[in-house]
A and B are shown apart, each in its own frame.
Chain A
Amino acid sequence: MNITIDKKQSDQGVVVKVAGEIDAFTAPQLREELAALADGNSKTIIVDLKDVTYLDSTGLGVFVGLFKQMKNNGGELRLTNLSDRLKRLFEITGLSHVMQMKG
């Protein structure tokens, strides 16, 4: 029940690939790593959620925080490769209206 976080530079921005379960235990680690990227020079952060097997409000909170931080800095946050489960979670919380996500 840990997560792995892989960061790679691409021509579109930094791609952050997260794998595992994002919950109250793992969310702080994710928050820290993403905040460090946002504080740096990353204009675009793309978070690949393909291998995220569990997500709840603590994880959603991390993405909301990062979304705000990026937006305030004139940057952009994109979420990609969401499973149907994850999509549903963003939909019922209304976040899919607010944030940019693909697939």
Chain B
Amino acid sequence: MGDVMDYIEMKIPAKPEYVGVMRLTLSGIASRMGFTYEEIEDMKIALSEAITNAVQHAYAMDEGGEVIVGFGIYEDKLEMAVADSGKSFNFMQKKQELGPYTECSTVEQLSEGGLGLYLIETLMDEVRVLNHSGVTVFMAKYLSGEREIHDTTISNQEKK
């Protein structure tokens, strides 16, 4: 439960073409930390979903803007923060409207959007949302302790 060891922050235009760029950045950071392939792929989806939300929100409001993405590198976890450009969007309310499809979902009930927030919660270990004048999503994933970095295998990391 140490302090953040390193912090990386990037500011991107609120445009869909930069979501993939942030996935590449995340891949680099997470593989550097020793996350497994599966964990990295999960985080790529969660990060993309958060940035996509911010980008689409900026687009719907018809103003450009920027999205700030922060990576907090800890000994035992990676924390990512995605802050939209300061225009509020009601994350919590949106979240309640969402969820996985169920076997009894009829074709008419299938919504084409809105799985994003559900995926973030499913794929990350911790998710926190800060609603201020804009929205910041914090999400963290713990290192599983199965990989080996340096000469020691880190295990028994406390989860949560």
Contacts and interface: CB of A to CB of B under 8 A. Distances in A.
Contacts, number: 84
Interface string A66-96: 0110011000000000000100010011110
Contact of A67 (B103, B107, B113): B107
Interface string A9-48: 0000000000001011100000000000000000000000
B49 A56 contact: yes
B101 A98 contact: yes
Main SS class of interface, A:
helix
A85 B103 contact: no
A98 B105 contact: yes
* Interface size range on B against A: 20 to 34
Contacts of B103: 94, 97-98
Interface in B1-53: 16-17, 19-21, 23, 38, 41, 44-45, 48-49, 51-52
B102 interface: yes
B91 interface: no
Contacts of B151: none
B107 A68 contact: yes
A39 B20 CA distance: 30
B101 A85 contact: no
B101 A95 contact: yes
Nearest to A84: B38
A14 B110 CA distance: 24
B56 interface: yes
A72 B21 CA distance: 37
29 contacts: A1-B20, A21-B23, A24-B16, A24-B56, A25-B19, A54-B23, A56-B48, A56-B49, A56-B52, A56-B119, A57-B113, A57-B115, A60-B115, A61-B115, A64-B111, A67-B107, A67-B110, A68-B112, A72-B107, A85-B38, A85-B41, A92-B100, A92-B119, A92-B122, A93-B101, A94-B102, A97-B102, A97-B103, A98-B110
Given A24-B55, A56-B48, A98-B103, 11 more contacts: A25-B16, A54-B20, A61-B112, A61-B113, A61-B115, A64-B112, A67-B107, A71-B107, A85-B41, A92-B122, A93-B119
